[in-house]
Amino acid sequence: MKLEIHYAQGWAALYVDGQLDPNTVGDSYHAEEKAFELLGVKQVQDDAFMRGQIHRDGVAPTLDEVAAYRQARLDRLRTAAEKRRDAERLLAEAAELEGQK
């Protein structure tokens, strides 16, 4: 399969094996999304590949490292939520003790 995307002034069109895919004419993202779909490209909307930073040299070099960061982030978020629940419980206990004479 041969794919070509033609661009002009914000417009785009995808040609598949020399033939226009009429559903892709318009904003370039239509043509790009269809091309990705035809090629089997998995698109992931998650910033885990950035590993909590904003620099090119900090991007995860492998998908295994992306997955490891994502899991570590989930673990940190769970721990933080647990600590917040503990803090709320302790604050309630402290308030109760303060109210007793």
Q: Tell me: the pLDDT tens digits for 37-74?
A: 999 999 999 999 999 999 999 999 999 999 999 999 99
Sign for the pseudo-dihedral over CA of 51, 56, 57, 61: positive
Report pTM. Answer: 0.73
pLDDT score for 100:
79
Q: How confident is the model at residue 101 (pLDDT cuts 50, 70, 90)?
A: low
Strand 3-8 and strand 11-16: the pairing is antiparallel
pLDDT score for 10:
87
Provide the residue ranges of all domains of the chain, joining segments of one domain with +. Answer: 1-43, 44-101
Q: How confident is the model at residue 35 (pLDDT cuts 50, 70, 90)?
A: very high
Q: Let me know if 91 is exposed, middle or buried by CB neighbors in 10 A (0-12, 13-18, 19+).
A: exposed
Length of the chain counted residue by residue: 101
Rounded to whole angstroms, the Cα distance separating 37 from 93 reads: 56
